[in-house]
């Protein structure tokens, strides 16, 4: 285990675990709003771009195999603007999982998930558990990205899990973060079994 892994994944006596999750995608797709909704249960209408990175912590409990597992999620909200791309390598370091998203009402943000995925490939992170998400599902009349296109992109990127969210209504927000936590936990359990 690398030093960075030890920082972000700490097995404590009481069985508590910490995972570092990077949340990536184009600017203004609602990454910050989703995290705020999840952590603070609120939605802010004003768009304030993230400068560099913003980090939030949220403890959750997952029921896995009849056992309650306490997990601390460290959510790294990465700025989507191109001028911050050089910093990504530093921010990616020690990540345990990835949330890669787009805005369902803007097709270019969907197309650009390919570029974001290339960043993950370049930094050797594609083996990490990953969940693909489409945000702003509440804007049904403005939707531009159809389900078959999403399924095609999932196949291209090799991401089996997809969740549609709305930071405004809160729809599927908990599910998104719980799913990535569950996928990381499952991967680590499998690694323990195979390493025996």
Q: Taking the domains of the chain in order of start, what are their residue ranges?
A: 3-190
134 against 43, higher pLDDT: 134
Residue 14 backbone phi and psi in degrees, to 5: -85, 15
pLDDT-wise least confident of 9-13, 70-74, 121-125, 184-188: 9-13
* Residue 49, pLDDT score: 52
Q: pTM score, two decimals?
A: 0.85
pLDDT classification of 78: cutoffs 50, 70, 90: confident
pLDDT at 29 over 90: yes
Give me Rg for the CA atoms of the chain: 16
Q: Which two tokens stand for residue 118?
A: 């290339």
* Residue 55, pLDDT score: 87
C-alpha dihedral sign at 90, 96, 98, 99: negative
* Residue 3, pLDDT score: 43
Question: In the predicted model, what is the mean pLDDT of the chain?
Answer: 85
Specify the fold of 3-190: Rossmann fold (3.40.50)
């Amino acid at each position: 285990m690398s030093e960075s892994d030890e920082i972000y994944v700490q097995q404590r006596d009481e069985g508590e675990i910490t995972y570092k999750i990077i949340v990536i995608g184009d600017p203004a797709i609602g990454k910050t709003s989703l995290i705020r909704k999840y952590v603070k249960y609120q939605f802010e209408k004003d768009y304030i771009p993230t400068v560099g990175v913003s980090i939030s912590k949220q403890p959750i409990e997952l029921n896995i195999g009849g056992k309650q597992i306490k997990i601390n999620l460290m959510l790294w909200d990465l700025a989507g603007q191109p001028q911050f791309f050089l910093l990504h390598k530093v921010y990616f370091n020690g990540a345990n999982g990835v949330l890669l998203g787009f805005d369902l009402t803007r097709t270019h943000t969907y197309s650009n998930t390919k570029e974001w995925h290339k960043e993950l490939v370049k930094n050797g992170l594609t083996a990490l558990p990953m969940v693909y998400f489409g945000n702003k599902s509440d804007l049904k009349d403005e939707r531009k990205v159809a389900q078959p296109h999403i399924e095609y992109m999932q196949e291209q990127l090799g991401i089996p899990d997809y969740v549609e969210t709305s930071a405004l209504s809160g729809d599927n927000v908990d599910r998104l973060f719980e799913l990535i936590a569950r996928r990381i936990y499952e991967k680590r359990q499998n690694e323990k079994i195979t390493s025996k």
